[in-house]
Amino acid sequence: MESLSHLTPIDREILNKSWGIVSKDMQQVAVNIFQMIFEQAPDAKLMFSFMMKDYKEDKKSNEFIFHAVRFLQVIESTMSHLDDPSQLDAVFLNLGKIHAKHEEQLGFSAHYWSVFKECVLFHFRKAMKSHNKFTKHKEMSFAEIDSAIILWREVLRFIIDRMKVGYCESGAIRKSNKQAINGQHSISGEDSGVSFSVETKQDLTQALRRRELSIIVPEYFICRRKSDVEISDHSSSPST
């Protein structure tokens, strides 16, 4: 697996310079990235209960901001250990395990990491270009910004690859354990006389992600669409 040891002193200088700009308004950049993730992968909303509310009204709630900033804190930690990011291996491994758990319970998909990467690159470039507009002397040339984006793609790929190690290991263990449990306990709730009526968060998420009405689109969005149409029709009808 690749590390970041191949980065040259110039590479590190460009990364640190660009991070110095981006981190000046880290919360806003984080919110913009988080918002774009949900725009590019709407089904990711189903992982967060606060996203079940109206998106526009809730996009800047304290909970939204908290989760958004946590995304960038991983990058911040990487930049703090750029000379020896292997010190963060335990952190990345744990994050991967957490996402494996989220896959089972909340419907996380590994392709969300690719969405995250592209959204980060988009808003990092936007932040650097915007910074140049509001400073008397351009802090980064266009060529330097392009260089930074190329380097950031490498850093993000490193972070994601490290997390995937924990993700794959934990996923394999969970799958093996689940198969073992299913093999040992094939008795149903009805046969045992026990009623399983408790609706867990995992049950709710799986229900929202059902694809009975569409092969591709989760049922939550299909039902929401119908509801929105009915509300629109009702509001446009003349009062009697």
- Residue 6 C-alpha from the chain's centroid: 27
Q: Is 213 a member of any domain? A: yes
Integer Cα distance of 167 and 119 in angstroms: 21
Shared domain check, 118 and 21: yes
* 212: Cβ contacts below 8 Å, ≥ 6 apart: 219
Q: Is 188 a member of any domain? A: no
pTM for the full model? 0.75
Helix (H, G, I), strand (E, B) or coil at 121: helix
Shared domain check, 18 and 135: yes
pLDDT at residue 204 in the model: 52
Phi, psi of 92 (to 5 degrees): -65, -40
Residues above pLDDT 90, as percent of the chain = 52
Residues of the chain with pLDDT under 70: 1-2, 53-59, 136-137, 171-213, 215, 225-240
pLDDT at residue 60 in the model: 75
Q: Is 226 a member of any domain? A: yes
In the chain, the number of structural domains is 2
Shared domain check, 213 and 152: no
pLDDT at residue 239 in the model: 52
Q: Is 195 a member of any domain? A: no
Q: Is 143 a member of any domain? A: yes
In terms of residue numbers, what domain contains 137? 9-175
Shared domain check, 206 and 167: no
Q: What is the pLDDT of residues 79-115, one digit of tens each?
A: 999 999 999 999 999 999 999 998 888 889 999 999 9
